[in-house]
A = this chain, B = another copy of it.
């Protein structure tokens, strides 16, 4: 019996999802691992890092901690799963973990968009894995499809709906004739938008994600300052109506193109004709097109956020590391 110990950094929406799935589907997961590796592997949550210990009194004291040092100094931890979000502290935790020869899985779009190259190099230098499927488009396996399936292709364009909040707002504005403010308020009440919605509404979230996809698809290192970024908040009910009159809908689109070494990236509202499947991607669903010179255009669609959909991507990465590295 091979025991793999993982540490969760953060026990919010996604962390709880990871814990739940490992509980609900443990038998299935360990059976799949056995079928692939012919090894009996048991996956253990060895440590969980939280901010406030007093909120987690139900969890075993040997497991829960508010001190990151308890995790990197624990030699039994094989894989660190970074789910705290944000840029600098998270990047630091990721790099420290890699340097201690721990594999890392992260769902952190901001840290990876800014520091992905540095993190990737650090992983290679320490001969450990760094995986980040959950950082873009929730459960949609777009990272692995680019990295493992489309390897024979020049990918020359990536575009899609990769922010759930703006798509939810636009869906409500289009289908229920709500104003931007009404739709935003509804999204906030239902938990689809944050109290401070700037990161979604002004396109930062989509910007991080299209940078990550572009870096991988084109093998470049995007400077975030070079991404054109247009806020959603100036879109009015009239804009929606005018688009409808042309058989169009407005969607918040992230897109990038790479042509003869020239890279262009943009996130912002865009009119999409009803002949395009993206026009029908509603609410918090995400969808990504990958344009390839040999495979043609591939469309991937699924849940862009949520506890268990995102955790499904995190666990997919964990299992891949176990399969390839243990």
Listed in ascending order, the chain A residues whose CB lies under 8 Å from chain B are 17, 21, 24-25, 28-29, 31-32, 35, 38, 124, 133, 139-141, 144-145, 148-154, 219, 277, 280, 287, 292-303, 306, 308-309, 311-313, 315-316, 319-320, 324
Contacts and interface: CB of A to CB of B under 8 A. Distances in A.
Nearest to A307: B294
B148 A320 contact: yes
Contacts of A309: 294-296
A25 B152 contact: yes
Q: Sort A-B residue pairs by CB-CB distance and give the 4 closest, nearest first.
A: A141-B149, A152-B315, A299-B301, A295-B312
A311 to B, nearest CB: 7
Nearest to A28: B154
A150 B316 contact: yes
Nearest to A319: B151
Contact of A294 (B124, B299, B312): B312
A294 B152 contact: no
A156 to B, nearest CB: 12
Given A149-B133, A280-B280, A315-B151, A35 B219 contact: yes
A144 B149 contact: yes
For the complex formed by this chain, how many copies does it contain in all?
2
A301 B302 contact: no
A24 to B, nearest CB: 8
Nearest to A32: B151
Nearest to A300: B300
Contacts of A151: 29, 32, 315-316, 319-320
B302 A302 contact: no
Given A277-B277, A280-B280, A295-B139, A21 B301 contact: no
Contacts of A308: 294-295
A272 to B, nearest CB: 13
Contact of A149 (B25, B150, B154, B316): B316
14 contacts: A24-B294, A25-B154, A29-B151, A141-B298, A150-B312, A277-B277, A292-B312, A295-B302, A295-B303, A295-B308, A295-B313, A296-B309, A298-B302, A299-B300
Contacts of A287: 299
A113 B304 CA distance: 33
Given A294-B311, A295-B303, 17 more contacts: A24-B294, A25-B154, A29-B151, A141-B298, A144-B145, A149-B313, A152-B312, A152-B315, A277-B277, A287-B299, A292-B312, A294-B309, A294-B312, A295-B312, A299-B302, A300-B301, A324-B324
